[in-house]
Amino acid sequence: MLSDEAEVDAKPELEIYADDVKCSHGCTVGKLDDSAMFYMQTRGISVNMARKLLIQAFAGEIIEKVSHENIKSKIYERLEQILEI
């Protein structure tokens, strides 16, 4: 979660049909990787910039799946505006 005020209401689903179990989640939640944060800080990157870079990398993996180049470019631009990079 990206702020102390953020809240997540996930709805996990579990289906069991004759010994065939399927589980799915509407979202995955976790905090930024402490070791990655530490690694960047030991190389002179501020806590704030390290946080922004990790968020950008996480979002980038998702954005790269967008096939339309113009839309992908606009999403990257908006992300940079939000993160103030």
pLDDT digits (tens, 9 = 90+) for 29-49: 678 889 999 999 999 999 999
State how far the Cα of 56 lies from the Cα of 81, in Å rounded to an integer.
11
Q: What is the pLDDT of residue 7?
A: 74
- 44-77, pLDDT tens digit by residue? 999 999 999 999 998 999 999 999 999 999 999 9
Terminal CA-CA length for the chain: 19
78 or 6: which leads in pLDDT: 78
Q: What is the pLDDT of residue 79?
A: 93
Is residue 21 scored above 80 in pLDDT?
A: no
Q: What is the pLDDT of residue 71?
A: 96
Residue 40's nearest CA partner among 49, 27, 32, 31 is 49
